[in-house]
Amino acid sequence: MINFGVIGRNFVVDRMLEASKQISDINLLSVYSRNADTAEEFANKHGAERAYTDFDAFCRDDELDFVYIASPNICHTKQAVTLLNAGKHVLCEKPAAPSEGELSEMLSAAEKNDRVFMEAMMSAHLPAVGIIKDKLSEIGPVRRATLSYCQYSSRYDKFKSGIIENAFDPRLCNGAMMDIGIYCIHMAAMLFGEPDEVCGSAVFLPESIDGEGSLVLKYDGMLAEIIYSKIADGCLPSQIEGENGCILIDALSKPRVITVLPRGKEKYIIDTSDDKHDMYYELRDFINQISGERTREYNEYSMKAIRIADRARKETGVDFKIRPRP
């Protein structure tokens, strides 16, 4: 039995724990929270045996095999490195780190301690991604990709009323690019690698948080448009255009249905929907690595993505700093 713990108690953790029920031989052992009441409450809610408020004690638990980190982005690096140095495997919610330097620190700690570290980027592990990769040659050469994820945040109304929750606090390394746009950036990194050029612009809300933005990634012979927003809903699918056809992707954060439109031929649809939880596949791939199927593929994708994000932040002025409202 593989025992795991969680850091964080938001809806994402709830979803991950739902997905964990579809993985055999893993057990929720413990939760960590700075507040004793919330730690106990969350542990009782999900049937965890132990609730910790002392992070060092949490790390020292010899029966704890891996930890899922879903704390604010700014906390990821310190928590992950400490856990890796304590001999724990780490699955870290996206974005794993706010910069290339911090992600490198995590990966170095994992290598030094012979532990598994993986970013919990749900979209990278779904079966549809492998199909998209396979179909690129059918429609290629690829000339343009439009990767879009625009979703009106459930916390935006509070922000407009003057209540600043974590998701809209730039000091926590949040904002539209890191929370939403990173899905688009990561998909571009998986499919096309790192671009030659990155340019773009962002719309900033009061307090200097980026509410939405657009990027253009220039590759040899093609462009990738990155469109993301936390302040408006999008209705169109993402698409990849090639000289011999087009691929439509239903939802970039969790692609399930792929539509292929070959030039001069009938379109066809590939539906990968199944009874698995959206977060099942990332958890399965992480557990497989703990069990011995080590791979550098996912960390390489994460590193490429954060390098693109670092360049994009310089272009758009996203600096994780707060400024007074006008």
CATH assignment at residue 237: 3.30.360.10
**Run of H or E including 120:** strand 117-120
Residues 146, 106, single domain; the answer is: no
Q: Distance between CA 167 and CA 176 in Å, rounded?
A: 9
Q: Distance between CA 158 and CA 173 in Å, rounded?
A: 19
206 vs 5, higher pLDDT: 5
Residues 98, 138, single domain; the answer is: no
Which of 85, 120, 155 represents a domain boundary (last residue)? 120
Contact 310, 99 (CB under 8 A): yes
On the question of pLDDT at 325 being above 70, the answer is: no
Count CA atoms within 13 Å of residue 35 on its CB side. Answer: 6
Q: What is the pLDDT of residue 9?
A: 87
Section 202-225 average pLDDT: 96
Contact 92, 103 (CB under 8 A): no
Q: Distance between CA 283 and CA 303 in Å, rounded?
A: 19
Residues 158, 294, single domain; the answer is: yes
Would you say residue 322 lies in a domain? no
What are residue 269's phi and psi, to 5 degrees?
A: -120, 135
Would you say residue 326 lies in a domain? no
What are the CB-based long-range contacts (under 8 Å, 24+) for 298-303?
Answer: 298/118, 298/119, 298/121, 298/124, 298/125, 299/107, 299/117, 299/118, 299/119, 301/121, 301/124, 301/186, 301/189, 301/190, 302/96, 302/103, 302/119, 302/121, 302/186, 303/100, 303/103, 303/104, 303/107
Which of 120, 138, 166 represents a domain boundary (last residue)? 120
Query: Rg of the Cα trace of the chain?
Result: 20
Domain count of the fold of the chain: 2
Q: 275: domain range?
A: 124-316
**Which CATH number characterizes residue 33's domain?**
3.40.50.720
Q: Which two tokens stand for residue 217?
A: 């990634």
Rounded mean pLDDT of the chain? Answer: 96
pLDDT digits (tens, 9 = 90+) for 254-294: 999 999 999 999 999 999 999 999 999 999 999 999 999 88
C-beta atoms surrounding 241 within 10 Å: 16
What are residue 299's phi and psi, to 5 degrees?
A: -70, -30
Would you say residue 289 lies in a domain? yes
Q: What is the pLDDT of residue 208?
A: 84
Strand partners of residue 260:
247, 268
Residues 61, 143, single domain; the answer is: no
Residues 209, 297, single domain; the answer is: yes
Residues 111, 19, single domain; the answer is: yes
Residues 130, 174, single domain; the answer is: yes
Would you say residue 36 lies in a domain? yes
Residues 213, 297, single domain; the answer is: yes
Residues 98, 110, single domain; the answer is: yes
Section 148-152 average pLDDT: 98
What are the CB-based long-range contacts (under 8 Å, 24+) for 198-205?
Answer: 198/308, 198/311, 198/312, 198/315, 199/315, 200/226, 200/312, 200/315, 200/316, 201/315, 201/316, 202/176, 202/177, 202/316, 202/317, 202/318, 203/231, 204/317, 205/159, 205/168, 205/231
Which of 73, 92, 120 represents a domain boundary (last residue)? 120
On the question of pLDDT at 323 being above 80, the answer is: no
Section 81-103 average pLDDT: 98
Would you say residue 323 lies in a domain? no
Q: What is the pLDDT of residue 326?
A: 58
Section 72-91 average pLDDT: 98
Q: Distance between CA 230 and CA 174 in Å, rounded?
A: 11
Out of 86-95, 110-119, 203-212, pick the least confident.
203-212
pLDDT digits (tens, 9 = 90+) for 103-119: 999 999 999 999 999 99
Q: What is the pLDDT of residue 1?
A: 94
Residues 52, 112, single domain; the answer is: yes
